[in-house]
A and B are shown apart, each in its own frame.
Chain A
Amino acid sequence: MTSNTSGQQDKIEPAPLLLVRASGNLRLVHGADDIALARGLCPGQRLADALACVPEARVEDADPTGDLARLHALAQWATRFSPHATPDAPDGLMIDITGCAHLWKGEEKLMDDALARLTRQGFTARAAIAGTIGAAWASARFGGAHSIIPPGSISTALQALPIRALRLDDATAIGLDRLGLRRIGDLYPLHRAEVTKRFGAALLTRLDQALGYAAETLSPLAPLPDHRVSLVFAEPISAPESIARASELLMTRLLRELETQELGIRRLGLIAHRMDDESPGLIIGTARPSRDAKHLLKLLAEKIEMLDPGPGIERMSLSALVAEKMNSVQADFERRHPGLAEADLAPLVDRLTNRLGPGSVTTPRAVASHIPERAATFAPPMERRVPGSDWSTDLPPRPIRLFSPPEPIDAVAPVPDDPPLSFRWRHMQHRVAKAEGPERIRPEWWQAMDDGKETRDYYRVEIEDGRRFWLFRSGLYAQDTARPPRWFLHGIFA
């Protein structure tokens, strides 16, 4: 079953309201309220024409991005009816209510509830329920008010609707109109091959989708969690203690469900459906699969503080967005992670990550590369090490601080490959007292674009006050004098 609701912002204002958008040099009417529509204005009209008819109209700029964002939020809200809800730009919502209607004691009651709630939020809405997306779309926009098309009678219900109800593009609709095909029913007796020849496959696809001969699926707003529990409250709650208590209850239920399948939580989402039909949510993540209720609740508690209960929460749902198999932990055979193997480090990593953002906690990883900045990267913690990565090296000393990207400097150096005599870095001139080098580093041949230009000669230099830097010259002194090599400061030695 598919329900389709189309909403439009309702304004009860004495003067007609027009929303305008720019289209090239023209200003066109983007939307009009009921009063304006009643006075004969319509979206798509030129603003000048519209104002000639209704000079007292109030004109405001349309905000398509804002509208879309609001529609998105509305789709989020609509997950209260079914987890399969998705925005249908520019002005519709699609909800797959398969198997959900009984919770409202019937489709009609569900539709009434949805419309009542939308009206309360200030939307004018029309709805329809049908067995296919196409049919629901058509009858919500062009059919009678609040129609429910029973299974098996789609073709009858649609035949009287205008051809545009098939979600066609303008060119096809105009073409059909010219031929006198104005109702969906007019298409039924036509020969399929002829229609395809004339209008392309899209028209018949749309027709088939509406009638249920072709499959069409609805992609939900967010991937559906496999494990979701929710709690509906008799009275809306807003006290932090009540929210904490509710999340505790939900957590117990969710973890019991996961335990039977030996799963642990990696990402956990909590959505609070509020009285005012807002549904703020929060997400926490863990470094390794966890079923530790105390730890997970602690992570949740930090974020719940920021959850605004508004006029009260009437429903809360907790879902395991990502669940992974919890394997019993085996000690690292080589004991190469003596610290990380400790289980009590994971909660700390989780706390830091959840507060300071994903990717903030990392651990160094050795990469087999000659290029210094590639030779060590920071990778997510608690992950298995890439085999073959090794910190042992017989290379000359490396600086403790490495700048990425290297900082360009002005250096004075004898040609072709002597260390610099002096250089200017961060507005300060430094004279080189002692220097060692060059250490030539070339990019790997499969990475290099131009071997000559990307070759680096590194020098370890000590300036007069004893500080040591790692400088390099990018490129070689060659015949090409137009583009002399550039100097960079790459790191600082201790």
Chain B
Amino acid sequence: MTRKQAIVPSVYPPSPEPPPGLIALRRQVALLENLPQAELEGGKAKSLTWGLTAIDTHLPGHGLMLGALHEFAGEGQDLEEGALPAAAIARLIGRLHGQGGDGSVLWIGRRRDLYARALPHEGLDPDRLLHLQVRRNADALWAIEDALRCRSLSAVVGEIAALNLTQSRRLQLAAEKSGVPALLIRRTARAGELKNLARQPIAAVTRWRLCAAPSAGIVAAPHPILPGRPRWRLDLWRCRGGRPANWFIEEHDDGWREATLPQPVPAPLGDRLLASPAEADDVEYERAAG
């Protein structure tokens, strides 16, 4: 039941005014779990939002809370480049700026291959970006922690290879203290290595896995098939105070939307979006089938 609600929110929309007793209870739970209460107290939205109701309502606090650590990783070869995580983060921060958030973004990484010309497309103003190039992973960790103390930043983005529980806890505490979100991109030169590293537990509030999916394609003779709107599989792998879930999203001019599948699916086996046998009993099929 709950799972279904998370995935198909249009069927069970969140009730606009929950009973007062429930609000008090939620606040108490939020206090215990150290979750953002702005949403509950009717204040200004204090979170990074995807702009997609299905995802945002699924997350506790209706978005990725500020003042917390969030981890993003690509899959397969994208672990080497971190293209999808970079675009997702740029868009999340761009939305924050659009909602009146001020301050610059500090982007920390070992390679300076973020292409500023692509950022306006994601909604992030390149003039509000500061890039820090570091030589070692340890330097990046130090810089992220130091930068998180600076309240005038709107976000700190770090491209990190190895990260252990203690290190991540330090970052989480620093973020909590200043209210600046820390967004990590897991990235290393050897994807095989990171696959194991990225599975280790860390003290992040949310951990996201992003993966490109084939687009619908536009058939336009005499050309071969043109690429359609980019599609991603968005996988919320870990979420403190929430449930793991995944979505299949498509980029539109006005932001992300949930993608519809190109063809009707005859059977669960017929629409293997991701050929990963390890996740055979995934929720994806539930949605696809129903």
Contacts and interface: CB of A to CB of B under 8 A. Distances in A.
A352 B225 contact: no
A336 B125 CA distance: 10
B128 A493 contact: no
A428 interface: yes
Interface majority SS (helix, strand, loop, mixed), chain B: mixed
Contacts of B142: 355
Interface residues on B, range: 35 or more
Contact of A338 (B102, B120, B214): B102
A347 B151 CA distance: 12
Given A337-B127, A356-B132, A348 B150 contact: yes
Interface in B83-126: 83-84, 86-88, 90, 102-106, 112-122, 125-126
Taking each of B87, B117, B152, which has the highest tally of chain A beta carbons within 10 Å of its own beta carbon?
B117
Given A403-B113, A434-B215, A352 B131 contact: no
Interface string B168-191: 000000000000000000000000
Interface in A360-415: 360-366, 372, 375-376, 378, 381, 385, 391-393, 397-404
B132 A339 contact: no
A378 B104 contact: no
A129 to B, nearest CB: 49
B201 interface: no
A342 B90 CA distance: 21
A171 interface: no
A397 B122 CA distance: 10
Interface residues of A, number: 58
A363 B127 contact: yes
Interface in A422-445: 426, 428, 433-436
Interface stretch (A78-86, A208-216, A248-256, A460-468): A460-468
Contacts of B284: none
Interface in B223-281: 223-228, 230-231
B118 A364 contact: no
Contacts of A288: none
A402 B125 contact: no
A59 B194 CA distance: 55
B81 interface: yes
Contact of A434 (B112, B147, B217): B217
A399 B116 CA distance: 9
25 contacts: A338-B102, A338-B128, A339-B153, A345-B150, A345-B152, A352-B143, A352-B147, A356-B143, A360-B132, A360-B133, A360-B134, A364-B127, A366-B126, A391-B120, A400-B83, A401-B115, A404-B113, A434-B225, A466-B231, A467-B212, A468-B212, A468-B227, A491-B115, A492-B83, A494-B86
Interface of A: 336-340, 342, 344-345, 347-349, 351-352, 355-356, 360-366, 372, 375-376, 378, 381, 385, 391-393, 397-404, 419, 426, 428, 433-436, 460-462, 464-468, 491-494
Q: Which 3 A-B pairs have the closest CB atoms?
A: A494-B87, A339-B104, A364-B116
